[in-house]
Copies of this chain bind each other. A is one copy, B any other.
Amino acid sequence: MLTIHHLVIGRSVFTVWLLEELGIEYQLEPYHRLETRRAPPELREVHPLGKSPVIVDEGRTIAESGAIATYLLETYDPEHRLSPPPSDRDRWVQFIQWLHYPEGSAFAPLSLVLLSASTPEPMPQLVRDFASGEVTLHLDFIEAALQGHDYILGNEFSAADIGLGYIVALAARLKLLETRAVLTDYLSRLQQRPAFQRAHERSGG
Say which size band chain A's interface belongs to.
35 or more
Taking a contact as CB atoms closer than 8 A, the residue among B74, B90, B126 that contacts A121 in the complex is B126
Q: Considering the complex, which residues of chain A in the window 107-142 have a beta carbon less than 8 Å from any beta carbon of chain B?
A: 107-108, 111, 115, 118-127, 130, 137-138, 140-141
B67 near A100: Cβ-Cβ < 8 Å: yes
Query: What is the oligomeric copy number?
Result: 2
Instruction: Considering the complex, give the chain B residue whose CB is closest to the CB of A118.
Output: B126
B64 near A93: Cβ-Cβ < 8 Å: no
Of the listed residues A89, A96, A107, A108, the one surrounded by the most CB atoms of chain B closer than 10 A to its CB is A96
Is A148 engaged at the interface, CB distance under 8 Å to the other chain? no
B105 near A108: Cβ-Cβ < 8 Å: no
Contact with B along A90-105 (1 / 0, CB 8 A): 1001001101110111
Taking a contact as CB atoms closer than 8 A, the residue among B66, B108, B120, B138 that contacts A107 in the complex is B108
Instruction: Considering the complex, give the chain B residue whose CB is closest to the CB of A93.
Output: B60
Binding site for B on A (CB under 8 A): 48-51, 60, 62-67, 70-71, 74, 86, 89-90, 93, 96-97, 99-101, 103-105, 107-108, 111, 115, 118-127, 130, 137-138, 140-141, 144
What is the CB-to-nearest-CB distance from A26 to chain B, in angstroms, rounded to a whole number? Answer: 17
What is the CB-to-nearest-CB distance from A50 to chain B, in angstroms, rounded to a whole number? Answer: 8
A86 to B72, CA, bound (A): 12
A89 to B64, CA, bound (A): 17
Given contacts A70-B96, A97-B62, whether A49 and B105 have CB atoms under 8 Å apart is: yes
Instruction: Considering the complex, give the chain B residue whose CB is closest to the CB of A48.
Output: B141
